[in-house]
């Protein structure tokens, strides 16, 4: 459940972001600007870390569609975060081929190392994690990815996960 503070925080789209929106809309025929919805939600999430209700309302206004049309899309697709997440979201593949090469153990290790349950945020605000379905890298499992760039890490071991998390902590200055 979102708190009132989270949902009511105002959102401002910078002119640079609007320019990116305009570029996306130009790819579709006139009157079919709704096609830009998924790419624009990605841009919003990359900018703000999640897609908040005020941001979705503004996207609806920009695309000249109803807010519900944005909500139903944002809630259908798994990539859009409807609540704030850690700065780094570790998405670990948990599906068949990765499972055969040890995904469950990697997920256990990520959970223990970060000390938070799936979908929660570490106290320092840096990390969240979740299990995701097949990431299409089945020959190189176990794998995980980190948004918003979706950098990819293959053939994971507990040690490589430790190194990865330490590197991200260092990068964030902690």
Residue (151 or 174) nearer to another protein, CB: 151
Tokens representing 96 are 């068949």
Q: Does 168 belong to an annotated binding site?
A: no
- Rounded to the nearest whole angstrom, what is the least distance from the CB of residue 81 to another protein in the complex? 11
CB 81 within 8 A of CB 120: no
Among residue numbers 95 through 134, which ones bind another protein (CB under 8 A)? 95-97, 99-102, 104-105, 132-134
CB closer to another protein, 116 vs 134: 134
The answer to whether 68 contacts another protein (rule: CB under 8 A) is no
Would you say 138 is a known binding-site residue?
yes
CA nearest 138: which of 154, 149, 152? Answer: 154
The annotation status of 98 as a binding-site residue, yes or no, is yes
Considering only residues 152, 162, 167, 171, which one is a binding residue for another protein as defined by CB under 8 A? 152
Q: Which of residues 69-88 bind another protein (CB under 8 A)?
A: 69, 72-73, 76-80
For residue 154, what are the CA distances in angstroms to 69, 117, 135? 36, 23, 11
Helix (H, G, I), strand (E, B) or coil at 94: coil
Neighbours of 174 (CB within 10 A): 10
DSSP letter (8 states) at residue 33? G
- Count interface residues toward another protein (CB under 8 A): 48
Report residue 130 as tokens: 């979740």
Q: Measured from the CB of residue 146, what is the shortest distance to another protein in angstroms?
A: 11
State which of positions 13-52 bind another protein (CB under 8 A): 27, 29, 32, 34-39, 41-42
For 123-160, b/e burial (b = at least 16 CB within 10 A) is: eeebbbbbbbeebebeeebbbbbbbeeeeebeebeeee
93 is annotated as contributing to ligand binding: yes
Answer for the pair 116, 154: CB distance below 8 angstroms, yes or no: no
Question: Where do contacts with another protein occur on this chain (CB under 8 A)?
Answer: 27, 29, 32, 34-39, 41-42, 63, 65, 69, 72-73, 76-80, 94-97, 99-102, 104-105, 132-141, 145, 147-152
């Amino acid at each position: 459940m979102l708190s009132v503070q989270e949902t009511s925080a105002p959102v401002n789209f910078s002119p640079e972001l609007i320019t990116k929106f305009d570029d996306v809309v130009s790819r579709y025929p006139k009157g079919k600007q709704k096609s830009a919805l998924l790419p624009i939600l990605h841009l919003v999430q990359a900018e703000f870390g999640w897609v908040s209700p005020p941001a979705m309302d503004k996207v609806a206004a920009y695309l000249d569609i109803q807010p519900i049309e944005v909500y139903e899309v944002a809630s259908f697709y798994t990539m859009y975060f409807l609540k704030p997440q850690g700065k780094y979201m570790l998405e670990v593949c948990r599906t068949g081929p990765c499972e055969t090469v040890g995904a469950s153990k990697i997920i256990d290790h990520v959970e223990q190392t970060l000390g938070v349950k799936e979908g929660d945020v570490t106290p320092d605000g840096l990390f969240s994690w979740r299990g995701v379905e097949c990431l299409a890298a089945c020959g190189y499992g176990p794998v995980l990815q980190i948004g918003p760039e979706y950098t990819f890490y293959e053939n994971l071991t507990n040690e490589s996960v430790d190194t990865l998390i330490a590197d991200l902590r260092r990068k964030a200055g902690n």
